Amino acid sequence: MYGLFRTARRLREIGLIGIGERNASYVLRYNPRKFYPRVDDKLLTKQLAIAAGLPVPELYAVVREEHQIADLHDKLAPHDQFVVKPAHGSGGDGILVISGRRGDKYRRSNSLLMSRGEFEHHLSNGLSGLFSLGGQPDHLLIEYCVQFDPIFDQVSYRGVPDVRIIVFLGYPVMAMIRLPTRMSDGKANLHQGAIGVGIDIPTGLTRRGVWGTEIIREHPDTEHSIVGLQIPHWPELLQMAARCYELSGLGYVGVDFVLDRNLGPMILELNARPGLAIQIANGNGLGHRLAKVEALAEAGGLSTDPDERVDFSRRNFPTLG
Ligand SMILES: Nc1ncnc2c1ncn2[C@@H]1O[C@H](COP(=O)(O)OP(=O)(O)O)[C@@H](O)[C@H]1O
Ligand SMILES: [Mg+2]
């Protein structure tokens, strides 16, 4: 009992926030409902990012109707690799990362082959909303398959890591990189079995990680250390994240990036209800950082300049401990 009490006090001390607090004090308070479609529909997010001059993976095709599926084999012939995803998907559900072909078949990132029939069946399920929020019929995006930066070769199992930055009132407050594992099938979603590794905001250096409920320092498949890696293009990532405040109109938003070895950082998606495991990955809570930005707001000190906001975050939000 005393132990539990001590743990609760320690969690409060490091400023850990829970789902209830996130929803009541941040999501509901700072995210106007009318802007949700901007982040819940990945096609709309992509269009907004392009309009704002922010890089995204190139769109190859949009599938809205069942009859368009059969034509895809020809339409996608010029692309050896590509990714299929439901516009309203989440948590990596329904995403197909196609890494090559063998004759008529498609090779998935987990190396399993998929026949044309299986491929069409998967897309048909996607259109019907099987993988999407609320189970409503959806449209599918087919896009460029990101070629990840070799810096992550040793710490990713056949997939693309992504960098998540939480942005509050335009200020980057916390970051992590998510690394695919054998379990996560080429995807970087924590619930699919990927690892979350905390990133120090001032330096862009990785700290320790979390895999399920386990705190880790090595990648479970490759055994390579995940601590002390320098995230490439770090200042640029922070700046792009800060600009997603204006792009989305959301006060509390998670911005997900991928780092392409040739094309550099690209925005993958935005999230209006970003998860809280990022706190465990960093061993730091969000509470104190969010309070600091709120204090700035109360003092009338919020900046409209993304660069100024990044400077503030780099001075104020080191990962402690
Ligand atoms: N264009 C892409 N190229 C390579 N991998 C991708 C691409 N899009 C998504 N992925 C992989 O799938 C994961 C989930 O994709 P994302 O667009 O974030 O959808 P979700 O909302 O389901 O999380 C990403 O974290 C990444 O690992
Ligand atoms: Mg995602």
152 vs 80, residue with greater confidence: 80
Q: Which CATH number is 87's domain given?
A: 3.30.1490
Q: Is 266 in the same domain as 200?
A: yes
Is ligand 1 within 6 A of the CB of residue 268? yes
Query: Span 174-192, mean pLDDT?
Result: 90
Report the percent of the chain where pLDDT is more than 90: 81
**Does residue 3 fall inside a structural domain?**
no
Q: Is 187 in the same domain as 213?
A: yes
Is ligand 1 within 6 A of the CB of residue 89? yes
Q: Is 154 in the same domain as 265?
A: yes
Find how far residue 108's CA is from the centre of its chain: 21
Atom of ligand 1 nearest to the CA of 189: 25
In sequence order, what are the residues at sequence separation of 6 or more whose Cβ sits closer than 8 angstroms to the Cβ of residue 315?
A: 202
**Does residue 164 fall inside a structural domain?**
yes
User: Of 115, 143, 171, which residue constitutes the final position of a domain?
Assistant: 143
233 C-alpha vs ligand 1 centroid, how far in Å? 20
**Does residue 5 fall inside a structural domain?**
no
User: Of 143, 161, 187, which residue constitutes the final position of a domain?
Assistant: 143
The boundaries of the domain holding residue 80 are 59-143
4 C-alpha vs ligand 2 centroid, how far in Å? 33
pLDDT-derived band at 6 (thresholds 50, 70, 90) equals low
User: Of 143, 176, 194, which residue constitutes the final position of a domain?
Assistant: 143
So what's the pLDDT on residue 29?
Answer: 98
> How far apart, in Å, are the Cα atoms of 105 and each of 94, 108, 121, 187, 246?
18, 10, 14, 21, 43
Count of the separate structural domains present in the chain: 2
Q: Is 27 in the same domain as 101?
A: no
**Does residue 2 fall inside a structural domain?**
no
